Structure 1
Amino acid sequence: MVEIDVLNHLAKNDKDGSKCCVQIQRWFDYRNHICIVCEKLGPSLYDFLKRNKYCPFPVELVREFGRQLLESVAYMHDLRLIHTDLKPENILLVSSEYVKVPSYKKNSQDGTNFRCLPKSSAIKLIDFGSTAFENQDHSSIVSTRHYRAPEIILGLGWNYPCDIWSIGCILVELCSGEALFQTHENLEHLAMMERVLGPLPEHMIQKASPSASKYFRRGIRLNWPEGAVSRESIRAVRKLDRLKDLVSQHVEYSRPSVTDLLYGLLKFEPSERLTAREALYHPFFKSPT
């Protein structure tokens, strides 16, 4: 019922469906199961990546996906709503149609020499079951692990910027084909963040909740690799590259503007992150010549 309330709130302010959020048609109660009827959409961006053997999207498509995603999140934030669970699984293509195009590199496993691209770049944001109104009490843990912002892990509370961090992680994944932070444990997750983005700010560490302070030594430095649970965990962190190097491996065109945008979305300090509206004015989203 919370999700229905959010969907109705979004639809009331989006009569023409231009805000890139899924449109509710109706809902009904079937034997004490609440069912929501929405417009028909295509596969999620994650499903498309998976079917495409995790071949990344071209930067031109990432630009279009990113613009629409930021527009939908900016719209939500204007309505004082925080999605809290942004991830490729919750971003659906409007159409299921795709085309096969020559691949930029040959697949050594099966000899295929093509990849699939969606015919249309139109997307819709879905799954508002975890969405929170800004003035509601906020649960301590939100977001799917890979897309969870550092302030949530550190127990510092969260607000609109947690959505922005998730968008940064999503854009990296769309450019590379793989999730940026593939982890299931807090200390390893923080170590991956530092590996990719540099050291966590000391003032955030010092304000960490008692349950999160155990990840640090003397309240100033991450307890890594000393606190790692396994050698595999240390290797998983070590194999990650700095953000700018990671982007350069997958993006040929618009590389400087993509990197600059991602650094703006993935600031450790929530108050320093770009807002969704600010990000839409970033040079990356200007039409390429």
Structure 2
Amino acid sequence: MAEGLSEKMDVSQEVEEAVEQPSPSEVESVKSGMTPQEAYEKYQFDLSSFETSEIFKYPEIYFVGENATKISGGRSLSDTSIFDTKRNNCSSFLRRDHKENRSVAIKVMKSQPRYHQQAKPEIEMLERLNKLSKAENIDVVQMYDHFEFRNHVCIVFELLSKSLRNIIDETREQGLPLHRVQEFAASIIKVLDALGRNKIMHGDLKTDNILLKQPGTSDIKLVDFGIAEYDREEQTELIQALHFRAPEVGARSGMTDQLALAMEVFGVPPPEFLKVCSRAKNFFKDGKPYVADFRSYAEYRGKAGSRNLSLVLKNCKDVHFQDFIRGCFTWDPKARLTPSQALVHPFLTNKLPNPDDTEESAFAPAAEDSQPDSPASRRTYEESRATNKRKRSGWKIDRV
């Protein structure tokens, strides 16, 4: 199980081939389909050995790929492992659904039995999410279908646009305008809040798994639920990509550089934090960073608390944004913003100006008292935070 999870975290989700829209004549033929006998008589010389042996198993044929380059097969037609990728436990493809006349994304698992077992809980989770998406309008990827083909489990998804990571990379590390950050944050947190209410943990939340619904919008959908779990289940530590883990989990995993970056801005973790981190003694001594193990901290990072949050945020002076970031990155896991609290935070409830409509950038320095604020939203947020503090039961970390 652990081996499968670690491999799944490294799965490449690259789209391998673009699919063109069919012509009107192709669409008409696609809708009608063919009987296996009709398809065989018309395309028998274009079929591979695999296709010749399996075409009569299907009631209707919609596409045979007569111009495609095909794998003819190995010594035995039962040897479907020749279709496996050399790396990773699955591959993703952009393909055309000729029956439904739509482009789709298909996740194809390797043919070994253990990958079949891995696919079962993912499909069950996706079926559950399909129902929740319709009932509660949760922005998660929709699974259209799943089936087994040549001993490979295949999962068919709706086709979405580029990932949040792609969008950030396109800025060449310059970052996004603050109003776009606000829009993306609101969309993401709404999904997390809905998943939390239904006791579902994604397990691999990162920018690669946050995709736009359509190009040029801030509407997103969360994808890749391959290691998602229900909150009631026994948890594993092999979830969440290393660089996106919470600081207390990073301390367990030896993510010294991540801790060093956080300490530059937020200072040394309090004693309570260190007590619940099993490996803290490797990095801290008498409550202070142990430089011998914090090599990157000693060589490349500044002292704890030496960097101003505003400067880290590219000189952003928006006090609500700074407060929002502090609420997300506080050392105490029980005091961090929950999704429901974040949704009523003034940073998300007060609409920011679009720099395209104004002369100044959203990241331009501004006076603190010039930031918009809603007394009602501030009151709701403060009440939510106060309630959370009353519910806190110490520093026990229940699960990773």
TM-score w.r.t. length of structure 1 = 0.73
- Which of 309, 316, 328 lines up with 1:251 in the alignment? 316
1:260-271 residue pairs with structure 2 within 5 A? Answer: 260-271=323-334
Q: Equivalents in 1 of 2:154, 2:341: separation in Å?
A: 36
Paired position in structure 2 for 1:188:
257
Q: Equivalents in 1 of 2:309, 2:137: separation in Å?
A: 33
Q: Is the 8 A contact 2:147 2:155 kept in 1?
A: yes
Q: Determine which structure has more spread, i.e. the larger CA radius of gyration.
A: 2
Gaps of 5+ in 1: 97-118, 156-183
Q: Equivalents in 2 of 1:126, 1:149: separation in Å?
A: 20
Paired position in structure 1 for 2:208:
89
Alignment CA distance shift 1:213-1:120 (3 Å): same
How far apart are residue 17 of structure 1 and its match?
Answer: 7.7
- Which of 218, 229, 251 lines up with 1:121 in the alignment? 218
Paired position in structure 2 for 1:215:
283
How far apart are residue 122 of structure 1 and its match?
Answer: 1.2
Q: Equivalents in 2 of 1:202, 1:54: separation in Å?
A: 35
Other structure's SS at 2:221 match = strand
Work out whether 1:47 is the aligned partner of 2:166: yes
Alignment CA distance shift 1:5-1:213 (3 Å): farther
How far apart are residue 55 of structure 1 and its match?
Answer: 3.3
- Which of 281, 292, 298 lines up with 1:234 in the alignment? 298
Other structure's SS at 1:271 match = coil
Paired position in structure 1 for 2:68:
none
Paired position in structure 2 for 1:272:
335
Q: Equivalents in 2 of 1:233, 1:269: separation in Å?
A: 22
Other structure's SS at 2:133 match = coil
Q: Equivalents in 2 of 1:48, 1:9: separation in Å?
A: 29
Identity across aligned pairs (percent)?
28
Paired position in structure 2 for 1:63:
182
Q: Equivalents in 2 of 1:36, 1:236: separation in Å?
A: 45
Deviation digits for residues 120-145 of structure 1 (CA, Å, limit 9, x no counterpart): 11111111112121111111243112
State the number of aligned residues: 231
Paired position in structure 1 for 2:156:
37
Task: Give the partner amino acid of 1:221.
Answer: K
Q: Is the 8 A contact 1:11 1:17 kept in 2?
A: no
Q: Is the 8 A contact 1:142 1:152 kept in 2?
A: no
Q: Is the 8 A contact 2:182 2:347 kept in 1?
A: yes
Gaps of 5+ in 2: 1-119, 354-400
How far apart are residue 62 of structure 1 and its match?
Answer: 1.1
Q: Equivalents in 1 of 2:315, 2:142: separation in Å?
A: 34
Paired position in structure 1 for 2:247:
150
Q: Equivalents in 2 of 1:55, 1:31: separation in Å?
A: 46
Q: Equivalents in 2 of 1:139, 1:188: separation in Å?
A: 23
Deviation digits for residues 16-48 of structure 1 (CA, Å, limit 9, x no counterpart): 783221111111223333221111100101112
Task: Give the partner amino acid of 1:263.
Answer: R
Q: Is the 8 A contact 1:44 1:93 kept in 2?
A: yes
Deviation digits for residues 132-159 of structure 1 (CA, Å, limit 9, x no counterpart): 211111112431122110121344xxxx
Other structure's SS at 1:28 match = strand
Other structure's SS at 1:251 match = coil
Q: Where has structure 1 moved over 3 Å in runs of 4 or more? A: 232-236, 239-242
How far apart are residue 262 of structure 1 and its match?
Answer: 0.8
Alignment CA distance shift 1:17-1:135 (3 Å): closer
* Structure possessing the higher relative contact order (Cα contacts under 8 Å, 6 or more residues apart): 1
How far apart are residue 67 of structure 1 and its match?
Answer: 0.5
Q: Is the 8 A contact 1:17 1:23 kept in 2?
A: no
Q: Is the 8 A contact 2:187 2:218 kept in 1?
A: no
Work out whether 1:72 is the aligned partner of 2:191: yes
1:274-289 residue pairs with structure 2 within 5 A? Answer: 274-286=337-349, 287-288=351-352
Q: Equivalents in 1 of 2:269, 2:238: separation in Å?
A: 20
How far apart are residue 84 of structure 1 and its match?
Answer: 2.5
